Structure 1
C-alpha cells in the first residue's frame, strides 16, 4: 500500500512529490515553502523519513535542507553535487528503506544530462518499480534543458540526456509512472513538452523525443530548441549549493504614501500586483505591474536587477502574502515594504494616478486601415516571433525591455503586444513609468491576422 501526493508550484511550472506508505515517506525536490510538504505529511499521518534532491536546482530555491533539519529526515543529494552542507551522498544503485514494514524503498539511478550529477529515484514495493521521480531528466514528451551548467558542456549533456532517458526505459517496466519535477511551464524544460497531466514509461517509449530519435538528430533538435534563460537562474544554483537560509514569511513593513514616493524617488521597484485591467485604469506613477495571478516569480525575478529592493502594492494583505510566498521560492526573500487598499490610498496630496488604454488586435487593425502606421512593439521571445510577426513591428523581448526603453521613438504612441496580454501589461507598465505613451494590446496573437493585420510568417520573420 503506497501513495504519491503531487505538490504543484504552478507559477514556476514545477512539481514536488511526497510518496511512501503508512510507516514513512520521502519528499522529492521540495519547494522553498516547506509548510506545504509538512501539511501533506500531516494529512497522511506519516513521518518524512527522507528528503531527496534529483539535482541542484537552477530555477528555484530548494526547501530540502530546512525540511530535513526540521523533520530529522535523511537528506539525499547526488554525491557529485558540489554543496556546502552535510548530506547523505547518493550514488548510482543506492537503495533506501522508506517504509520497511510495507516493503517500500527508493532506488537511485544516475541520469546525467540536465546537470552532470542528476539522479532519478525509483519508488519500489518489495523490489517492484512503482514510480520514477525523474526531476529534469525524462519529462513528458521531452527532457530537461542541458545548457544551464556551462556552455562548453551543453552538447555533451544533451547526449547524456539521450542516454539517461534510454537507461530509464531499459530498466523500468512500461506501467511505471513517470513523475518529473520540470516540464509544466518551467523554463528548465526544452522541446515539445507533452500536455498530459500524467505519463508512464510505456507512453514515453513511443513519443518522447529522446526515445524516438537517434542521438544525433535528438541533439541537433534539442540544441536548436533552446531559448532564453531567465536571468535569476544564475543565482539559484549558488544559493542551493551554499544551503538556503530558513524562510521568513512574516508580513513586510507597511508603507504609506510618503514612503512609497520616497522609494520610487530612490529608484526602487514598486510592484503593483493587481490585475492588468485595474492597473491600466489607474495606478501609482512609476510603479510596475506584475499580476499576482500571472507568472509573478518568473518574470519579476527575471527583470528586476538582482538585489534591488521591491515594495508590493495589492488590494489586500492576502494578495501580498501570496506574492511574498511565491517570490521567496526564487530567492526574493523579504519585500522592503507593502501597501494595500485602493490606488487612491497610495497618493500624496496633490498627486494623481496615471492610466493608459487597453486594446485588441482588431482595434489596432482599425487604426492600420486608416493608413496610419503606429509604433508596434512585440515583447515576445525570439522563438515565438520567428513563427509570425506583425510587419514593421519592433522587437524587444520583455525581459530586455527595462534596459532598452530609450531605443523606442520619443513622443510616439507605442502599441505593445505579446502572445496573450500578460507580458504586454508588464511591458506597458515599464514604458509608462519611463514616460512613453502606451497602448496595451490585451489579446491573443493568434487572432491578429484574422483581425486584418499583416502578419509575416516567413522564416525570415525576425
Structure 2
C-alpha cells in the first residue's frame, strides 16, 4: 500500500511531498530546510531513493541537491532544464521503480516553465496520484510569466495544452497534488480548496472548461506583480544551492544596532504588530514573524542588503531564520532578542504609533482631521472596492514611492492589518505621523466609510 505525506511551507504557499511504499520513498519538490523531509522519512521508516523536481523553481530555493547528497538518492530533474550540477535528466515518459509495485512516470507539462514535468504515481499498474508542480493546481494553473516576458503567451498556451494532456491521460479518481496554489504567487489566479482530483478539475478548472483563446486572454489579464526576489530564485536553483546554514547569528548589542541603522542597513523587528506599535527602535521595520515574513521581506529589501533581526525570543528568531533561508536570505548580519528597551543606546527612547480600526478612521474623517488614507493592498484587491479618496500605493512599491504620500497623518490600511503594520513602520522610520489600521477591510463599509466599487469590477478580492 502506498502513502503520500504532505509537507506544508505555509509562509510561501507551497507543498512538498514524500511518497512511497514499505521501504523506499520519493520526495517531490523538497523545501530548502531538508531536516523536515528527513524527519518525515524517519517517521515512516523509509529510505529516500529518489528526489525529483517538477521544474527549476522561481519562488523558493530548493533543498533537492542537498537532500540527494545527504541520502544518496538519485536526483531527477527535467532534462531540458539548464543546470550546473550533476543530476539524472528526465525525459517525457521516463519511469522509475520506487518500491515494490510502485513506480513514478514523468509527463512533460510545459507552461509554468518550458521544461516543466509532472510525475504520475502508479501502483500495480494503475495511476493513483499526479504531482503536478506548477501545472494543474486546485482550481487554477501555474502562472506562465516567470521565465521571460516574450514567452508568456506561448507558455500560457502550452499550459492549457499540458492541463488537457493530464486530464486526457489520467482517470477521474487520480489525486492531483500540486506544489503551488496555497497562497503562492506562482498561481496564475486565486486557487481554492485543500484537495482535488482529475475529475473535479475537469468539471471546474477554467483551463478545462474554456476554449484556449478565452483561457489565455483571461490568464494574461489576471496576472499580478511578481515578487522582486523571484528574479534570484531561478539562478540560485540552476546553479545548485549551498546547504542551508541555520546556526544562530551573532548577537548585536545596542551600539551595533544603532550603527547598522546609521549605515542604512535594514534592521527588522519580528515582533507582533501590536508589540511593535507600542514601542520600537526608531528606524526599524516591522515584519511579523507570524505573517508572510519570507515573501514580503524578500520582496521589499534590496537584494543582498545586510539584515539584522530583532526578536522577542530565540525561538522566534530561529523560526524567522528558517523562513528567510527558504528564499535565499542566507544569513542575518546579526540579531538580538529580548525586550526592545535592551536594544536602545543610553539616552534613546522607544518610538510608538497608534493602532485603530475603520470606525476610528471614519470618526477622524468626520471631525475634519488632517487625514491621509493610504491603501497598500495589491492592484487586484483595490480593483474590487476601495475607500473613496484614499491614496493607493501597494506595499511592495511603498519604499520607492513614499514621497507620493501627501502631507498629514497617514492612516494605513490593507485587507487585514499585517501589511498595514509593515507600511506604517516604513513611513514611521521616515519620520511620518502614522496610524496603522488593524482591521479587516470588510469592516470599512459597516463603519460608515464610503466604499467605492471599481468600474467594471467583480466582487472584492
Q: Pick from 303, 309, 314 the counterpart of residue 312 of structure 1.
A: 309
> Hey, what does 1:446 align to over in structure 2?
442
State whether residues 405 and 434 of structure 1, in contact with CA within 8 Å, keep that contact through their aligned partners in structure 2: no
> Hey, what does 1:178 align to over in structure 2?
176
> Hey, what does 1:238 align to over in structure 2?
235
> Does 2:260 match 1:263?
yes
Q: Pick from 347, 357, 360 the counterpart of residue 357 of structure 2.
A: 360
Q: Pick from 427, 431, 441 the counterpart of residue 427 of structure 2.
A: 431
> Hey, what does 2:124 align to over in structure 1?
126
**Mapped partners of 2:60, 2:190: distance in 1:** 22
State whether residues 137 and 180 of structure 1, in contact with CA within 8 Å, keep that contact through their aligned partners in structure 2: yes
Q: Pick from 391, 415, 420 the counterpart of residue 411 of structure 2.
A: 415
Deviation at 1:460, TM superposition (A): 7.4
Q: Pick from 182, 186, 198 the counterpart of residue 188 of structure 1.
A: 186
1:59-208 paired onto structure 2 within 5 Å: 59-99=59-99, 102-194=100-192, 196-208=193-205
Task: Give secondary structure in 2 for the equivalent of 1:403.
Answer: helix
Q: Deviations along 1:82-114, whole A, 9 cap, x unmatched?
A: 100110010000000111xx2110000000000
State whether residues 4 and 18 of structure 1, in contact with CA within 8 Å, keep that contact through their aligned partners in structure 2: yes
State whether residues 370 and 409 of structure 2, in contact with CA within 8 Å, keep that contact through their aligned partners in structure 1: no
Deviation at 1:425, TM superposition (A): 0.3
Deviation at 1:406, TM superposition (A): 2.0
Task: Give secondary structure in 1 for the equivalent of 2:446.
Answer: coil
Deviation at 1:373, TM superposition (A): 5.6
**Mapped partners of 1:124, 1:354: distance in 2:** 59
Q: Pick from 262, 282, 285 the counterpart of residue 282 of structure 2.
A: 285
State whether residues 386 and 454 of structure 2, in contact with CA within 8 Å, keep that contact through their aligned partners in structure 1: no
Let me know the Cα RMSD of the aligned residues. 1.0
**Mapped partners of 2:434, 2:83: distance in 1:** 47
**Mapped partners of 1:442, 1:152: distance in 2:** 40
Task: Give secondary structure in 1 for the equivalent of 2:342.
Answer: helix
Contiguous gaps of at least 5 residues in structure 1: none
State whether residues 368 and 453 of structure 1, in contact with CA within 8 Å, keep that contact through their aligned partners in structure 2: no
**Mapped partners of 1:333, 1:357: distance in 2:** 34
Deviation at 1:392, TM superposition (A): 1.2
> Does 2:334 match 1:333?
no
Task: Give secondary structure in 1 for the equivalent of 2:350.
Answer: coil
**Mapped partners of 2:250, 2:229: distance in 1:** 25
TM-score scaled by length of structure 2? 0.98
1:399-410 paired onto structure 2 within 5 Å: 399-410=396-407
TM-score scaled by length of structure 1? 0.98
Deviation at 1:176, TM superposition (A): 0.6
**Mapped partners of 1:160, 1:142: distance in 2:** 15
Deviation at 1:395, TM superposition (A): 1.1
**Mapped partners of 2:284, 2:125: distance in 1:** 57
> Does 2:36 match 1:36?
yes
State whether residues 387 and 451 of structure 2, in contact with CA within 8 Å, keep that contact through their aligned partners in structure 1: yes
**Mapped partners of 2:34, 2:352: distance in 1:** 39
